[in-house]
Amino acid sequence: MTLRLANTGQAVIIDIGEAGDIHPRNKHDVGARLALWALAQHYGKDVVYSGPSYRSMRVQGDSIRLRFRHGGGGLIAKGGGDLKGFAIAGADRKFVWANARIEGDTLVVSAPEVSEPVAVRYAWADNPICNLYNAEGLPASPFRTDDWPGVTADAR
């Protein structure tokens, strides 16, 4: 939500942070990612400055197709193998771990337990195991496609 404010940016550090501490020890890579944002947004440099960020979804039968901003040179599963960190839910709002595959510049997410999906979440946990990146090596930002109340909803 803070990215809606003028002159704000973010560096996703989900892959270089500390599991038990919100303050990562690896300040160098955090600074390098923030510098990419500044170079692109304020200094006019043509650099990929962000990892994939959720743009939109479309239900297609028993799966959901996701589109992203900042795909850079293409979406990848870092380290190869299967994509990790995706969950999907139907109208019952019960999330289950999902299969995700890259198709061009989109992802297709599904799970056998959910025949009529309505929502996807990615890396939606404390210290998640997740591996969606762009070809430039920048991690995807955690996201959810739903706006269902969570454990912190209405907390004041």
Tell me the pLDDT tens digit for each residue of 88-114: 999 999 999 999 999 999 999 999 999
Query: pLDDT grade, residue 29 (50/70/90)?
Result: very high
- Helical (H) or strand (E) element with 68: strand 63-69
Selected residue with higher pLDDT from 97 and 126: 97
Is 0.75 topped by the overall pTM?
yes
Other residues' Cβ atoms within 10 Å of the Cβ of residue 14: 15
Residues 33-80: pLDDT tens digits?
999 999 999 999 999 999 999 999 999 999 999 999 999 999 999 999
Where do runs of H (alpha helix) occur along 4-125? 27-42
Residue 19 falls in which region: left (phi positive, over 0), alpha (psi -120 to 50) or beta: alpha
- 153, amino acid identity: A
